[in-house]
Amino acid sequence: MKKIIHILSFSPRVEHIMKRFDDFREYTDYFSENISTIDFLDIEEYPYRVFFYTGEFHSILSYETLKHTKEFQLEFWRPYYGISRAYSKNIHGVVHRIFPAKKVKSLFPLNSYVYSKSLSAELRKECEKGSVLLSLGWPTKTSSKLLFNVKPRNVPVLANHRSGTFIKYYYKNFTPVQKINPFVFYEYLLEKLICKKYIDIFQCTIKELRDYINKKNICETVNLFDGIDYNLYCPTSDKNTLKNELGIPIGKKILLYVGRFYEDKDADYLIDIYSKLKLIRNDIILLMVGGYKSDKYYDYGLRQGAIMIERVNQNQLVRYHQISDLYLLPIKNYVVRNFGGIGSAVIQSLACGVPVISDNLVHFQGTESEKSLIGRLMNGESEFINNIIYVLDNPEKFSRCREISRKYYDVDICTLKLIDIYKDLFKKYKVY
């Protein structure tokens, strides 16, 4: 049977997170109720329990694939800090495997990576057997080192862009000392070489990255998003009842933000914009969901009158999208804005019929005319404020958000396209 192995490039920070809880059960209950589904295995040595996170991107991909075909055996591998041997568990038809790993640090930040000797060894064995397809996040130093160590020449490799970019794009933000570091040029060449030698298809929604890959003739590219569940994320027929249930004021227009409350997501900038908007109109309220009380700007948001909600699971999150009038994602960070993609929360809002204001709309897969019907770009502070007011005052002009976005981002449509890619790659390597 043909096998697909999805590989995550980072370890869960279990020890760091567990400090917030008294025992394993409290952590497991909290995670399941507020973040995503989780499973575990009790073991006889420290740390006495290991966790399997079924809500990670690659894990979700496996389960979505299973909904549409039983043609493949699906596995989800990842490195895991603090264990001495590998563990596995079959969870609803997907085999989850974790491998002992360590962080290899470097003075040059992009040279640090996660290394697992046993994961590399087991993956090499799978590649020698054949009949396997590797799917992993790219570009990351961890994935680059893994491919370099395993050298999967005779099996298909599908790289998925999650975040980040190639070293050449980080270069502009390097310090003068970093720019003259000879390792920078070495890593640039190595990254490109490994991609060209081992990766068959680069799945990426970032046009600039696809153009770069195609121009350099590195590998094939495909513009495909994982997809959002449009059956879960859908409009509500009664916003006021839902607002009452959530404790959100009725009679206010809700400006929603989803994400951590810190600098990388420019949460402070959004809170400042909200403070200025309140001087213009008194019918709005900023609702920020997804961070923690320990985040840098949690208290700042409260002081400025925003409603701050800690991280919640998908079933709870959809309710906040449904009561909103406008979704805001004012990313100014160069890497996040240009190479972070459109973002799942943006699509979730569109699926709920909520327009969006964010420069991340540059990554929208539809036409320019369609883009104008689902929201606006940020384009600096004054235009950002004007666009917020315009969209709030003209909701009828943005009434087709769900219809337009669904063509490109419905998880069922995207998964069926991805399954076709799997089949084509297996055929390319004569695996039937």
Go through the chain and tell me how many residues it has. Answer: 432
Pick the CATH number of 2-227+413-428 from 3.30.1890, 3.30.9, 1.20.5, 3.40.50: 3.40.50
Nearest Cα neighbor of 106 from 181, 173, 180 is: 181
Instruction: Count Cα neighbours of 431 within 13 Å in the Cβ-side half-sphere.
Output: 21
Q: Return the pLDDT at 271.
A: 97
3-class SS of residue 19: coil
What whole-number distance in Å separates Cα of residue 26 and Cα of residue 77? 25
**The domain 239-408: what is its CATH number?**
3.40.50.2000
Determine what percent of the chain is predicted with pLDDT higher than 70. 97
List, in sequence order, every residue forming a beta bridge with 72; answer none if it has no partner. Answer: 2
**Backbone φ and ψ of 37, nearest 5°:** -70, 145
Cβ partners under 8 Å of residue 109, min gap 6: none
What pTM was estimated for this model as a whole?
A: 0.90
Regarding predicted confidence, which is higher, 132 or 17?
132
Residues 316-339, mean pLDDT to the nearest whole number? 91
In this predicted structure, the answer to whether residue 12 has a pLDDT above a threshold of 70 is yes
Q: Return the pLDDT at 16.
A: 61
Residues 298-327, mean pLDDT to the nearest whole number? 96
In this predicted structure, the answer to whether residue 17 has a pLDDT above a threshold of 80 is no
What does the pLDDT look like over 211-269, one tens digit per residue? 889 998 999 999 999 999 999 999 999 999 999 999 999 999 999 999 999 988 899 99
Nearest Cα neighbor of 212 from 342, 137, 197, 204 is: 204
415 pLDDT band, cuts 50/70/90, is: very high
What are the tokens at 419?
Answer: 């399954």
Contacts 24+ apart (CB under 8 A), 395-399: 395/325, 395/355, 397/373, 398/355, 398/373, 398/374, 399/353
What whole-number distance in Å separates Cα of residue 74 and Cα of residue 282? 52
Q: Return the pLDDT at 25.
A: 82
What are the tokens at 197?
Answer: 């030698």
- Residue ranges per domain, the chain? 2-227+413-428, 239-408
Name the residue type at position 408: Y
What does the pLDDT look like over 47-100, one tens digit per residue? 899 999 998 888 999 999 999 999 999 999 999 999 999 999 999 999 999 999
Q: What share of the chain is helix, strand, coil (3-state, %, to 5)?
A: 45, 20, 35
C-beta separation of 123 from 102 below 8 A: no
Q: Return the pLDDT at 111.
A: 76
Nearest Cα neighbor of 359 from 369, 350, 340 is: 340
What whole-number distance in Å separates Cα of residue 302 and Cα of residue 13? 28
263 burial level (CB within 10 Å; 0-12, 13-18, 19+): middle
What whole-number distance in Å separates Cα of residue 115 and Cα of residue 88? 18
What whole-number distance in Å separates Cα of residue 214 and Cα of residue 100? 36
Q: Return the pLDDT at 175.
A: 74
Residues 8-16, mean pLDDT to the nearest whole number? 82
Pairing of strands 38-42, 49-53: antiparallel
Kindly report whether the peptide bond that precedes residue 47 is cis, defined as omega within 30 degrees of 0: yes
What does the pLDDT look like over 369-411, one tens digit per residue? 999 999 999 888 999 999 999 999 999 999 999 999 999 999 9
Q: Return the pLDDT at 135.
A: 97
What does the pLDDT look like over 92-132, one tens digit per residue? 999 999 999 999 987 766 678 999 999 999 999 999 999 99
Average pLDDT, the chain: 92
Range 223-239 burial, b when 16+ CB lie within 10 A, else e: ebbbbbbbeebeebeeb
What whole-number distance in Å separates Cα of residue 37 and Cα of residue 170? 34
Determine what percent of the chain is predicted with pLDDT higher than 90. 74
Residues 181-200, mean pLDDT to the nearest whole number? 85
